[in-house]
Amino acid sequence: MEKRNIYATYDVFPSAKGASTHIREMILVSSGQCDQLQLFCLRGNSSYPAVQTEGNIFIKRYYNEEKLNYLEKASLFSQQLFIDIQKHKESIQIGHFRDVWSGMGLIAEPSIKTIFEVNALTSVELPYRYPDLTPSFLRKLKELELQCLHKSTVIITPSEVTKTYLETNFSVDADKIKVIPNGAHIPDSFERPIDAPDQYLIYFGAIQPWQGLEVLLKAMTYLEDFKDLKLVICLAVKEKAFKPYRKLLEKLGLENRVILKSRLPKKELYNYIHYAEASIAPLKACDRNITQGCCPLKILESMACKTMVIASELPVVSELVTEEEALLFEPDREQDLARCIRFILDEPERKESYIASAFKKVQGDFLWEDQKAKLKKVYQDLML
């Protein structure tokens, strides 16, 4: 009988988001441990085929209808996933999922060994997107998460902070949780983008409230004496997502100092990162970052691009870098961030020392190949 694995995620794949990078690396491991990997995800828009086969990976994408609200789409996704799993349940050896909507259909089938990949919990992140969610809805959501956490065979997470959160808030056995950080690939070469400013900082990725982009924008106002300094923002989402920040740009008088890019191909993005004076990760001191935890991919990718990193001094950041590899500033303090940026601009030789140390760190501890080897062992242990 053909051996199948499942990888399920309530997210669009592929996309320019960091989550998509993580998903790609995970499915490469999973597909190597079976005859066929079935990948179930969201379609996003009609430019992606609803059904697709690449090698031994069968991809099925659900729902791109904008008229469905979040909960309607999530419920339908979960129901359809359960139906598709039942079609082949006898041949499925491992079900790997990233969220409750993907997990309910897998944990319902006791014959399937499951991996719950907890990069973030829906109950923590959804209120940032929908502030009016009722307490009763969030309680039900946490109950679903609790079921997924306790019924899954193994839990993997990219952060020690998240591991502690799961142990403390969901009474998960520590031995059940494996920490596998994010990783990075070292680009082969770089070519300066034709339209890149002579001197610029870079922010790249998504722009959810916990990312702290407004802190960086305010910090730029303390650097007005650097007349030629620009801020290049490379969005992982559609440019219309930046709309809430445009009024802030006008208020701060930064319209001519900020350059916006959207959904760049990886190679082009890495070129912008490499030639920046520094890459900024201004994560906010909020529950999402401090209590739940995360593993900021932008920090690792910047290190791999041989770019200076300036980041908020948070436990999740300290898991990746020390003060020998990055400049750390007090979270939510734009003046302290501006101080760090000014230091780098005034001390280029010191910057090179940080970059060299950070590049050595990512080579030694955070290559994707090393992280994938850890995940491969999780799969092999489950198949014993």
Is residue 308 over pLDDT 90? yes
**pLDDT more than 90, % of the chain:** 90
Radius of gyration of the chain (CA): 21
**160 shares a domain with 33:** yes
Do 142 and 206 sit in the same domain of this protein?
A: no
Q: How confident is the model at residue 263 (pLDDT cuts 50, 70, 90)?
A: very high
Q: Are residues 108 and 81 in the same domain?
A: yes
Domain containing 207 equals 199-365
Look at residue 190 and tell me if it is in a domain.
no
Q: Mark 278-314 as b/e (b = at least 16 C-beta within 10 Å).
A: bbbbbbbebebbbebbbbbbbbbbbbbbbbbbbbbbb
Has residue 188 been placed in a domain? no
Judge whether 109 lies within some domain: yes
Which residues are CB-contacts of 25 (< 8 A; sequence separation ≥ 6)? 183, 368, 371, 372
Whether residue 25 sits in one domain with residue 98:
yes
Task: Give every CB contact of residue 198 below 8 A, 6+ residues apart in sequence.
Answer: 228
Identify residue 287 by its one-letter amino acid code. Answer: D
Q: Are residues 64 and 134 in the same domain?
A: yes
User: Are both 44 and 69 inside the same structural domain?
Assistant: yes
The predicted-structure confidence for 41-54, as pLDDT tens digits, reads as follows: 998 777 889 999 99
* Same domain for 102 and 145: yes
| Structure confidence by residue, pLDDT tens digits, 194-232 | 999 999 999 999 999 999 999 999 999 999 999 999 999
- Is residue 189 one of the residues assigned to a domain? no
Q: Domain count of the chain?
A: 2
- The CA distance from 103 to 27, in Å, is 16
pLDDT per position as a tens digit, 136-179: 999 999 999 999 999 999 999 999 999 999 999 999 999 999 99
Any domain includes 51: yes
**CA dist., res. 308 & res. 325, Å (int):** 8
Q: Are 162 and 33 contained in the same domain?
A: yes
Using the predicted structure, report yes or no on whether residue 69 has a pLDDT greater than 90. Answer: no
Confidence of residue 63 (pLDDT cuts 50, 70, 90): confident
Regarding whether 263 and 178 lie in a shared domain, the answer is no
How close are the terminal C-alpha atoms of the chain, in Å? 17
> Using CA atoms, how far apart are residues 71 and 67, in angstroms rounded to an integer?
12
Least confident of 3-12, 58-67, 281-290: 58-67
* CATH number of the domain residue 267 falls in: 3.40.50.2000
Of the candidates 340, 329, 274, 281, the one whose C-alpha atom is nearest the C-alpha of residue 307 is 274
Residues 148, 77, single domain; the answer is yes
Based on the fold, state whether residues 155 and 258 are members of the same structural domain. Answer: no
Among the listed residues 329, 293, 267, the one whose alpha carbon sits nearest the alpha carbon of residue 121: 293
- Residue 273's pLDDT band, with cuts at 50, 70 and 90, is very high
Please determine, for residue 92, whether its predicted confidence score (pLDDT) is greater than 90: yes
Q: 111 and 255 share a domain?
A: no
In this structure, is residue 100 part of a structural domain? yes
